[in-house]
Amino acid sequence: MTHEDPIADAVLDLVRSADPDAGAILAREAERQQHTLELIASENHVSPAVMHAMGTCLTNKYAEGYPGKRYYGGCAHHDEIETLARDRAKQLFGCAFANVQPHSGAQANGALFLALLSPGDTFASLELSDGGHLTHGLKVSMSGKWFNPVHYPLVRDAKSPAFETIDYDEAERVCMEAKPKLIMCGYSAYPRVIDFARFRAIADKCGALLHADIAHIAGLVATGEHPSPFPHCHVVTTTTHKTLRGPRGGLFLTNDEDLAKKFDRALFPGMQGGPLMHVILSKAVAFGEALKPEFKTYQQQVVKNAKALASALTEHGYRITSGGTDNHLMLVDLRTRDAELTGADAERWLEAAGIITNKNGVPQDPRPPVKTSGLRLGTPALTTRGFREGEMQQVAALIDRALAGKGDESAIAGVQRDVEAMCERFPLNAVVGAGA
C-alpha cells in the first residue's frame, strides 16, 4: 500500500495471505486510487478512521429493528452506536429526527416513496436529462414504474441570465396542474444553489409535501456552504459518501415526528432487513469529523476549487453549463472545444491518462446517455488530497492536453507522467479537514 496507513497495510497483508487472488485485486485498486486524480463528483477519499471503522467486529451482528426495539439479543452496544450516529446527524443538520440505517441514497428514496406515496400517486421532480437522479422517476426505476412522475425543467432560453438553472415559474405551473403529493428537489448534476424556500411556497400552494435529496451537497449543507433544506422541506434524504465524506450509505432527516415514524416503518421492515452496523459506526465517525471546524474549511476549499477548475476550463475553450458553479461540481460541454468530441471518448482518454471522470449529458443533450456531449467533474476528492486553486488550474491544463490529443498514445502517456507526479506531491496519507 502507498497510503502510509499501517492498518491498511496490515489488512492487505492479511487478505493476501488468506486469499492471494482477492488480495492482488485489492492491491491493484489501492495503487489505482493513489496514482490517479479522482474527479467524479460523487466520490471522495475517506479518512483512515472512517475506512477502518467499517472493518470491525460489528459486521458479525444482526440488529434488526431500532435502538431499544431489536429483534435479537446482544444489541446493547449497537444501540449505543446507532444512537451516537443519530445524535450527531441531528446536530450536524439541525433537525429533530434521523434514521441512519439506509444502505444507500437509493434505498432511502425508495423507503420515502413507500412511506409517503401509494402506487400510482403523482410526484414532481426535475427532468432527468436536466440533472435529476434515476430514483427521481426514471422509467426503469421503481420510482418511475410504480408511481407517476411529472417533471419541471431548467430555463431553456439561452438569452436569459437564468439559462440552465431551475425554472421555478415552470415548476410552479407543472405542480399546480398535476397536483403531486410530493415535490422532489436536490439533484445528481446541478451546479447551482437550490432555493428551498421557493419550492416550499410551491408545495404549500399545490398541497404537496416537499422532499430534498441533498446527496451531492450534504457536506456543503452541513457546514453552511449551501443553504439548508430546513425548515423548508418536510423530509430530507442524502447519501453519506460524497461531499459528506463518510462511508457508502444513506441517511433520512426530518423535523416531523409523524413522518419520521412512517419512514422508520417503511425502511424496516418495509425495505430492508438487518442494518449494516459496521457502516453505521463508520457514519458516526464521519459525522464526528464533519462537526469539527476543519471540515468547514475543507468544504470552503471544495467550492473554491470547483470555481477555479470551471474558470480554467472555460479559458481552454470548454463551456460550463449555466455559466459556472456554486457548489462542488460542474457540467462541461465538450462541443465548444471540439464539436466531434463525446463524453464517452473523453472519459476513456482521460482514464488512460490517470484522470477519472464520468460522461454526463448536458441539458437538452442531442446525444444518447451512452455517448453524451459532456463530462461531470467534481472537486471533493482532490480537495481531500490537499489540492488548491493553483493545482486546479494545472488539472484543467492536463485535461485539455489529454483531450486535444484525441487518444494519441504518446500524448496520453505524457499526461499520465504528469498526473503521477502530482499524485506523488499529494499522496493519500492524510485527509484534509478530518481533524486530529
What band does 1 get if pLDDT is binned at 50, 70 and 90?
very low
DSSP 211: E
Which of 9, 64, 87, 338 is labelled catalytic?
64
303-308 mean pLDDT: 98
Which of 86, 181, 242, 307 is labelled catalytic?
242
CA pair distance 168, 131, nearest whole angstrom: 15
5 labelled catalytic: no
DSSP 141: S
CA pair distance 110, 250, nearest whole angstrom: 11
Domains of the chain and CATH, by start:
57-290 (3.40.640.10), 294-422 (3.90.1150.10)
Nearest residue to 423 (alpha-carbon basis) of 26, 13, 39: 39
Residue 399 reports pLDDT greater than 50: yes
Determine contact, residues 67/82, Cβ cutoff 8 Å.
yes
247-267 mean pLDDT: 98
- Name the β-bridge partners of 211: 184, 235
Three cell numbers, residue 241? 459518501
pLDDT tens per residue, range 9-64: 999 999 999 999 999 999 999 999 999 999 999 999 999 999 999 999 999 999 99
242 labelled catalytic: yes
CA pair distance 333, 336, nearest whole angstrom: 7
Which of 245, 248, 319, 385 is labelled catalytic?
248
182-189 mean pLDDT: 96
Determine contact, residues 266/112, Cβ cutoff 8 Å.
yes
Determine contact, residues 380/225, Cβ cutoff 8 Å.
no
Predicted confidence at residue 2, as pLDDT, reads: 43
Predicted confidence at residue 436, as pLDDT, reads: 58
Residue 435 reports pLDDT greater than 80: no
0.85 exceeded by the pTM? yes
pLDDT tens per residue, range 126-183: 998 888 888 998 888 999 999 999 999 999 999 999 999 999 999 999 999 999 999 9
Which amino acid belongs to residue 231? P
278-300 mean pLDDT: 98
213 labelled catalytic: yes
292 labelled catalytic: no
CA pair distance 4, 399, nearest whole angstrom: 28
Residue 295 reports pLDDT greater than 50: yes
Which of 62, 90, 371, 389 is labelled catalytic?
62
Taking all residues of the chain, what is their mean pLDDT, rounded to a whole number?
96
198 labelled catalytic: no
200-208 mean pLDDT: 98
pLDDT tens per residue, range 372-389: 999 999 999 999 999 999
What band does 371 get if pLDDT is binned at 50, 70 and 90?
very high
Angle subtended at Cα 320 by Cα 314 and Cα 326, rounded to the nearest 5 degrees: 105
CA pair distance 340, 67, nearest whole angstrom: 56
79 labelled catalytic: no
pLDDT tens per residue, range 275-288: 999 999 999 999 99
- Please identify which residue in the block is written with the cell numbers 461531499: 243
Angle subtended at Cα 113 by Cα 112 and Cα 117, rounded to the nearest 5 degrees: 125
Q: Cα–Cα distances in Å, from 30 out to 11, 172, 224, 347, 427?
A: 12, 48, 33, 21, 12
For the packed helices 105-116 and 257-265, what is the interaxial angle rounded to 10 degrees? 110
252-266 mean pLDDT: 98
What band does 432 get if pLDDT is binned at 50, 70 and 90?
confident
Predicted confidence at residue 242, as pLDDT, reads: 97
Nearest residue to 243 (alpha-carbon basis) of 251, 235, 234: 251
DSSP 372: -
Whether a cis peptide bond, with omega within 30° of 0, leads into 380 is no
Which of 38, 213, 326, 333 is labelled catalytic?
213
Which of 135, 165, 238, 239 is labelled catalytic?
239
> Hey, how many other C-beta atoms are within 10 angstroms of the C-beta on 356?
17
397-419 mean pLDDT: 96
